[in-house]
A and B are shown apart, each in its own frame.
Chain A
């Protein structure tokens, strides 16, 4: 890709103007080389440094300009219609009433929309793994709660989170995945990350992909793979941090904690976790069940391939970067 095109792509990404395909492409470029990351960092620095710009007030004669304007206005032609005023006043009142009724209607509709699919998980004080209707996997920490409406996955995928959770969002270029927590909005394409809620802050750490964070007061930053940020809920300040992404591995580890799972599901979870593709060339894969793994401790993908090979005689072959084929012997 030409240097010029990269500059434009990264610039659009930082300014949150990239479409889903462009976000995907940027993610790929940033994973490919550190040179691309450097370019991204330089543009990010440039954008940040030019945030405060002084706009000069021009020095023309403002009184003279004002006189020019009023000279053009013929003030003796100002219309004065008392009847018109009264009628307009009543029409305005009627408009306010209609607008209020409409507002109430929408509020009720919105409430019933969210009530229809509000789910509360992990209320019993344990962690839980669950899938949303779009196959996004979530691990909710103890006493966390997530809610989504009945139109989830129609045009977009939008959820409300209270608490701490790990997300592995299924890829869908057409439908952005949006999480609301406190006064922060988290927007992703297809990625994995942790949102951790503390007393007066929300921490976000990204494992794969790109995540956009936007606060209600308009601050917006992008997090790339292995980057973290913190949102102070008191001051509503959003900052990138140097916190180690692996600090949140404890929750993420649950994702790779297999307990008597079907091998087909295990392979899917491995694909999502390690951001790879596994093509299955084994007719009886659906019959392979009961896979239990040791606790995840930062194992690489070969650990799981080796274990599956020993237990089920499955052969994994690398056919292209991050693409594998699995065959039964």
Chain B
């Protein structure tokens, strides 16, 4: 069903409309949330919260100025960030990332394409580092936005991103045949 018809249905028959919205977007939204949180239970909690909020704000849905898909995605990302912040997972303490790990990873998967290699490496970064890097790289958030969303300092964001870049750079250099110093 087209988006504008879905919104109309949600206004006129809210329960049926919510059900259709859920069916249409659950895979997409849960993939987006899981990409950040990397935990199935947390993902379910966020999705449940998202649809409950949508139900409570159903009168305002026709006022949004983006597609409903974009609106839901943005709301899902915000709720994911709220969850991370609420758990106070982040203190201004640096992770010690083993850069050798990046080198070993590159050696093990030498035949893989660069993109596959990098994506797998991103997946295997330490959780805090990965989450911050993913928000910057894929959600296009600025350092200031990430720091405000997660309740950490900009310096922490910079440190985590630079650590991710150091590891990923090892992969790139190995792949293009540069001696790693």
Interface residues of A (CB under 8 A from B): 4-5, 7-8, 11-12, 15, 17, 38-39, 42-43, 45-47, 49-60, 62, 65-66, 68-70, 72-73, 75, 78
Interface residues of B (CB under 8 A from A): 14-15, 18-19, 22, 26-27, 30-32, 34-35, 40-41, 43-44, 47-48, 51-52, 55, 114-115, 118-119, 122, 136-138, 140, 142-143, 158-159, 161-162, 165-166, 168-169, 171-173, 176, 178
Indicate which residue in B40, B51, B119, B143 contacts A50 across the interface (CB closer than 8 Å): B119
Q: Which of B15, B40, B162 has the most CB of A within 10 A?
A: B162
Nearest chain B residue, comparing its CB with the CB of A68? B48
Query: B52 — which chain A residues lie within 8 A by C-beta?
Result: 69, 72-73
Indicate which residue in B18, B34, B41, B48 contacts A57 across the interface (CB closer than 8 Å): B34
Indicate which residue in B43, B138, B176 contacts A60 across the interface (CB closer than 8 Å): B43
Secondary structure dominating the interface of B: helix
Pairwise interchain contact B55-A73, C-beta atoms closer than 8 A: yes
Pairwise interchain contact B32-A55, C-beta atoms closer than 8 A: yes
If A49-B115, A56-B31, A58-B30 touch, whether A4 touches B14 (CB-CB below 8 Å) is no
Nearest chain B residue, comparing its CB with the CB of A7? B165
Pairwise interchain contact B19-A46, C-beta atoms closer than 8 A: no
Expressed in whole angstroms, the Cα–Cα distance for A43 and B171 within the complex equals 11
Query: A68 — which chain B residues lie within 8 A by C-beta?
Result: 48
Expressed in whole angstroms, the Cα–Cα distance for A55 and B77 within the complex equals 14
> How many residue-residue contacts, CB under 8 A, span A and B?
105
Q: Which of A12, A46, A47, A72 has the most CB of B within 10 A?
A: A46
If A54-B119, A57-B30 touch, whether A65 touches B47 (CB-CB below 8 Å) is yes
If A4-B162, A53-B119, A69-B48 touch, whether A42 touches B142 (CB-CB below 8 Å) is no
Query: B119 — which chain A residues lie within 8 A by C-beta?
Result: 50, 53-54
Inter-chain pairs besides A4-B159, A17-B143, A55-B32, 6 sampled, C-beta below 8 Å: A4-B166, A7-B169, A45-B176, A58-B30, A60-B43, A62-B30
Expressed in whole angstroms, the Cα–Cα distance for A70 and B54 within the complex equals 12
Which 5 residue pairs across A and B have the least CB separation, nearest first?
A: A55-B31, A49-B115, A58-B34, A4-B162, A7-B165
Query: B35 — which chain A residues lie within 8 A by C-beta?
Result: 55-56
Query: A52 — which chain B residues lie within 8 A by C-beta?
Result: 115
Indicate which residue in B40, B43, B161, B172 contacts A45 across the interface (CB closer than 8 Å): B172
Expressed in whole angstroms, the Cα–Cα distance for A4 and B99 within the complex equals 13
Indicate which residue in A8, A38, A49, A59 contacts B40 across the interface (CB closer than 8 Å): A59
Expressed in whole angstroms, the Cα–Cα distance for A5 and B114 within the complex equals 25
Between A and B, 24 residue pairs with Cβ closer than 8 Å are: A8-B165, A11-B161, A15-B137, A39-B169, A42-B172, A46-B118, A47-B137, A49-B118, A49-B172, A50-B119, A51-B115, A55-B31, A55-B32, A55-B34, A56-B35, A57-B30, A58-B31, A58-B34, A60-B40, A66-B19, A70-B18, A70-B19, A72-B52, A78-B15
Expressed in whole angstroms, the Cα–Cα distance for A38 and B55 within the complex equals 52
Expressed in whole angstroms, the Cα–Cα distance for A8 and B34 within the complex equals 26
Pairwise interchain contact B44-A7, C-beta atoms closer than 8 A: no
Expressed in whole angstroms, the Cα–Cα distance for A32 and B99 within the complex equals 27
Expressed in whole angstroms, the Cα–Cα distance for A94 and B166 within the complex equals 56
Pairwise interchain contact B158-A8, C-beta atoms closer than 8 A: yes
Nearest chain B residue, comparing its CB with the CB of A50? B118
If A8-B161, A42-B173 touch, whether A60 touches B122 (CB-CB below 8 Å) is no
Query: B47 — which chain A residues lie within 8 A by C-beta?
Result: 65
Query: A42 — which chain B residues lie within 8 A by C-beta?
Result: 169, 172-173, 176
Pairwise interchain contact A75-B15, C-beta atoms closer than 8 A: yes
Pairwise interchain contact A57-B44, C-beta atoms closer than 8 A: no
Nearest chain A residue, comparing its CB with the CB of B163? A4
Expressed in whole angstroms, the Cα–Cα distance for A56 and B120 within the complex equals 12
Query: A65 — which chain B residues lie within 8 A by C-beta?
Result: 26, 44, 47-48
Indicate which residue in B51, B165, B172 contacts A11 across the interface (CB closer than 8 Å): B165
Pairwise interchain contact A70-B172, C-beta atoms closer than 8 A: no
Query: B14 — which chain A residues lie within 8 A by C-beta?
Result: 78
If A50-B119, A69-B22 touch, whether A57 touches B15 (CB-CB below 8 Å) is no
Query: A43 — which chain B residues lie within 8 A by C-beta?
Result: 165, 169, 172
Expressed in whole angstroms, the Cα–Cα distance for A62 and B30 within the complex equals 10
Query: B136 — which chain A residues lie within 8 A by C-beta?
Result: 15
Nearest chain A residue, comparing its CB with the CB of B23? A66
Least CB distance from A75 to B in Å reads 5
